[in-house]
Structure 1
Amino acid sequence: MKSVLALLFLLNSASAFSTSQQRRVERVKLQKINRELIVSPSVAKANFLHLQQDIDAVVSAGAPWLHLSVQDGYFVPKVSFGSPVVSALRKQYPDTILDCKLGTINPERRVQEFVKAGADIISVHPEATLQLPAVINDIAASGCSPGVVLNPATPVSLIEPILEDVDVVVVMLVNPGHGGKKYLKQAIDKIQAIQRFASDNDIPLPHISVDGGVSASNSAALIDAGANVLVAGGSVFKSDDKEAVISDLLHGGSETVTISSGRNDFA
């Protein structure tokens, strides 16, 4: 009898998790359709000795997404964190969108690990896999929103065949794991090219996320170009007034923006 009850409990728990994840992913898709402006603070820039305190602060300040840049030390030269951090955040922040960017070789080997950890968005680098369409399909079939990442040297043409299948395109302003120079003009050109391709081919426009050195000094140009998700790390986490910083980022391109509810080497 106890084993039957335990099994029922596990099934109910799995069902509840699936339903809550489905609601979050549906919210991601609705935000995409509505072109909501979103700040997604990069967890890699938080103080890991006080991680919950830092995350509590940015969530309370109005950040509806959290960006998790996973780096394996191979595809990206740095090592950041893995699925245990994602799992811990999922349990603590059940309503927050967890936006995971896998800077890993062969991301197809990692997808299910991060699905089980509670990721809502899983983005991969096209250079990291020989089976990009299959990886995107696997992410979508697992109930998550699929995304793809464009490094500064990666052309938009490389992702055109799968653009209609992704919910997010991450445009990097810096080279992941290296930091340094910000390729702002190239990022703006890519944002505009993504919009043109979507319009010319009559496909839904994905979230266009920008990552790497995003701050109030350049958010205006990025928003005006068409970006709607701003991944910001140090500018948010190092501020004593996180709500003001988030507002400054979102109002960089317009004075009538509606805020969505709710070191660059780790970009």
Structure 2
Amino acid sequence: MVKKIHAQIGPSILNADLSRLAEESQKLLDAGADYIHLDVMDGTFVPNITFGHPLVKCLRKNIPNAFFETHMMVQEPEKWIKPTADAEVQLYTFHIEPCTDVPSICRKVQEAGMKVGLAIKPNTSVNTVVEYIDIADMILIMTVEPGFGGQKFLTDMMEKVRWLRSNYPSLDIEVDGGVGLDTIEQCAEAGANMIVSGTAVTGSTDPKSVITKLRETVKNAINYNCSM
């Protein structure tokens, strides 16, 4: 039996007020977010620095029951597995581009008690993740270049999503970058079921309405595809 996928909306707090991160994150959860997407950047793999596990650990103390995904845009993802697990993160998503032994890192993430997400940049072929799908819990297709918020959505990345969904119907597929109300139809139609949305949600005066619309669009696409 094919596992049923579910629509999940995970706002990114990259452009939120980091001095009020717990409050900002709780508001997103109260508005209906399924999880919080935490962008960790090291200034090496990407040309920007955000925050690391100490901040995530503090956030966990204030929001004990939320589902956290850390998107590790870092050069050495294996280095941060244990401290991230100590911060009680549930999903550890890392980029395969800088890694020489992806299976080993996946195994260490799982041994630390976290699920594994594998991310690829726009210029990375989707074929590069195929050999790892059996050991990953989710594949993240970046729809902008990682490193900065507020970039324009790359429509041609939907071909990667479409190919994955066609070949792996029960796979959790996440998209991240430039996703909002004007691009969610493309993501949903292609087959993405985990939606990271930053500015479109955190910059809205009515984040609950935005999250609801994003989720309903994805749910409708899932139901339509299941009925065919």
The normalised TM-score by structure 2 is: 0.90
Q: 8 Å contact 2:173–2:192 — kept in the other structure? A: yes
Amino acid at match of 1:148: L
Q: 1:84 to 1:189 in 2, by over 3 A?
A: same
Which residue, 180, 183, 186 being the options, matches 1:221? 186
Q: 8 Å contact 1:62–1:243 — kept in the other structure? A: yes
1:122-167 Cα distance to aligned partner (Å, 9 max, x none)? 0111112111110011111211100100111111111111111111
Per-residue deviation at 1:116?
Answer: 1.0
| Partner residue in 2 for 1:83 | 53
1:81-138 Cα distance to aligned partner (Å, 9 max, x none)? 1001211222222221101111111211111111111110001111121111100111
Per-residue deviation at 1:64?
Answer: 1.8
| Partner residue in 1 for 2:158 | 188
C-alpha distance in structure 2 between counterparts of 1:111 and 1:148, whole Å: 14
Amino acid at match of 1:62: G
State which drifts further: 42-51 or 134-143.
Answer: 42-51
Q: How does 1:135-174 map to 2 (within 5 A)?
A: 135-174=105-144
Amino acid at match of 2:153: K
Identity %: 27
Amino acid at match of 2:163: A
Instruction: Give the helix-richer structure, 1 or 2.
Output: 1
Q: Which runs of 5+ in 1 are unaligned?
A: 1-31, 200-204, 259-267
| Partner residue in 2 for 1:95 | 65
Q: How does 1:53-68 map to 2 (within 5 A)?
A: 53-68=23-38
Which residue, 116, 124, 133 being the options, matches 2:94? 124
| Partner residue in 1 for 2:226 | none
| Partner residue in 2 for 1:206 | 171
Amino acid at match of 1:177: G
Amino acid at match of 1:182: F
Q: 8 Å contact 2:193–2:218 — kept in the other structure? A: no
Per-residue deviation at 1:196?
Answer: 3.3
Q: Which runs of 5+ in 2 are unaligned?
A: 224-228
C-alpha distance in structure 1 between counterparts of 2:191 and 2:180, whole Å: 16
Q: 8 Å contact 1:220–1:254 — kept in the other structure? A: no
Per-residue deviation at 1:255?
Answer: 5.2
Per-residue deviation at 1:209?
Answer: 0.6
Per-residue deviation at 1:63?
Answer: 0.7
Q: 8 Å contact 1:70–1:101 — kept in the other structure? A: yes
State which drifts further: 89-98 or 246-255.
Answer: 246-255
C-alpha distance in structure 1 between counterparts of 2:10 and 2:158, whole Å: 19
**Is 1:247 matched up with 2:217?**
no
